[in-house]
Amino acid sequence: MMDYRRFKSQLLVVVSFLVVAFTGCEKKGPNEQIFTGTALGTTYQLKFFHPEELNLAAGLDSIFGVINNSMSTYQEDSDISKINLGSTGIKVDENFKEVFRYSEKIYKESDGYFDPTVGNLVNAYGFGPDKNLDSLSSSEIDSILQYVGFNKLELTLDNTIEKQLPGVYIDFNAIAKGYTVDVIARYLNSRNVEDYLIELGGELVAKGINQGRQQPWVVAIDNPLQTEGNRTLQATLNLKNRAMATSGNYRKFRIDSVTGERFVHTINPLSGKPEKSNLLSVSVLAENCALADGYATAFMAMGFEKSKEMLNNLEDVDVYFIYTEADEDVNVYTSQGFKDALNFD
């Protein structure tokens, strides 16, 4: 499984956004409003159209505060931190429950490759591009694996979390940003906003159209082999009434000295061992951003062939895979739904 915290890269750039360096709202044209800021350890941008100037700052701050209080592993007094430290009577909120259920769904669909309990294993390896991934013995791996497995958790009827073992550690970072985008979208819907594009840490939800251009919202995927300071785009697409998430290791891949194959390291939560993955980047379209976010992480962990197999069993999910094979250049696999959204101009 991926180390979600270190290797989830922001491969996606919102082409139609004006990037500004301060938090706030800037009105750019008729009915057009832009909000930017920082939250959840990353940046966010909202662009929307509404006949009235809306002050969303307090509402957005409230959303980020509630999400952090529920699921931030970096906040010592959050519900998830208390649960990880052993508290058993914490009643989790609706946000936690919804993310738990999405995680359980993807965990089962991916046969355990998506696993928010893999953190103990990742930490033990000290996972990173320059780390020695042969540093754990079989007995050490086995001792850690007893705490890995989302099936070792239960969301009870009284809204508490039960663990089979106290040492099970939960980290929703691979799905929580996408879920937060969905919550922001609900908030905009409640304010009667019909046309918007939301981006948080590379995760997106689009509704309606870009009224300023009278066309769909246009977003792009970075070239995974671009060099530092020389940004190039892999593809652009129209995004309407759908969510998109991108996950990748494009700055963390290595090259096999014998075969020349590009690959990235992931940790298999089933075996507890590091494995090579030939997927450099995954972009996912789905009905909501929590699912898109979670599926993107799962696919990166599974590699190209397993991901294609899983995709056959999913509905309303489309992908853009950038992958490599031995002695070959970078390849692209595009599902039909994603292909239909691409711009070929």
- Cα gap 70→65, rounded to integer Å: 9
Tell me: pLDDT of 135 over 90: no
Question: Given this model, what pLDDT does residue 4 score?
Answer: 35
Structure tokens at 241: 């009434």
User: From CA 296, how far away is CA 283, in angstroms rounded?
Assistant: 6
Residues 191-214: what's their mean pLDDT? 95
Residue 160 annotated as lining a ligand binding site: no
Sorted by where each starts, the structural domains of the chain and their CATH numbers stand as 74-172 (1.10.3980.10)
Is the C-alpha dihedral spanning 134, 151, 176, 48 positive or negative? positive
Of 27, 32, 20, 12, the C-alpha closest to 195 is: 32
Could you give the angle at which helices 173-190 and 289-302 cross, rounded to 10 degrees? 160
The answer to the question of whether 296 is labelled as a binding residue is: no
What pLDDT is stored for residue 16 in this prediction? Answer: 37
pLDDT value at 324 more than 50: yes
What is the spatial distance between Cα 101 and Cα 107, in angstroms, rounded to a whole number?
10
Q: Which of 4-18, 210-224, 258-272 shows the highest mean pLDDT?
A: 210-224
Using 50, 70 and 90 to split pLDDT, how confident is the model at 329?
Answer: confident
Give the position of tokens 């100037």.
53
What are the two backbone dihedrals, phi and then psi, of residue 338, each rounded to the nearest 5 degrees? -70, -40
Share of the chain above pLDDT 70, in %: 79
* 117 annotated as a binding-site residue: no
CA 145 and chain centroid, separation: 24
Q: Give the model confidence (pLDDT) of 302-320 as tens digits.
A: 989 999 999 999 999 999 9
More confident residue, 275 or 74: 74
Query: What does the alpha-carbon distance between residue 120 and residue 278 come to, in Å, rounded to a whole number?
Result: 24
Q: Is the pLDDT of residue 328 over 80?
A: no
Q: How would residue 262 be classed by pLDDT, with cut points 50, 70 and 90?
A: very low
For residue 133, is pLDDT > 60?
no
The pLDDT of residue 253: 47
Please report the pLDDT score of residue 29 as a whole number: 59
The pLDDT > 90 percentage for the chain reads 63
d(CA 110, CA 104): 10
Asked if the model's pLDDT at residue 109 lies above 70, the reply is yes
Q: How high does pLDDT run on average in the chain? A: 84
Specify whether the CB–CB gap between 50 and 31 falls below 8 A: yes
Question: Could you write out the DSSP letters of every residue in 115-177?
Answer: -TTTHHHHHHHT-STTS-TT-S-HHHHHHHHTT--GGGEEE-TTS-EEESSTT-----HHHHH
- Beta carbons within 8 Å of 82's beta carbon, 6+ residues apart: 90
Query: Among 77-86, 127-136, 244-253, 281-290, which stretch is predicted with the lowest mean pLDDT?
Result: 127-136
Question: pLDDT at position 272, please?
Answer: 87
The residues, ordered by sequence, that sit 6+ positions from 328 with a Cβ below 8 Å of its Cβ are none
135/133 Cα distance (integer angstroms): 5
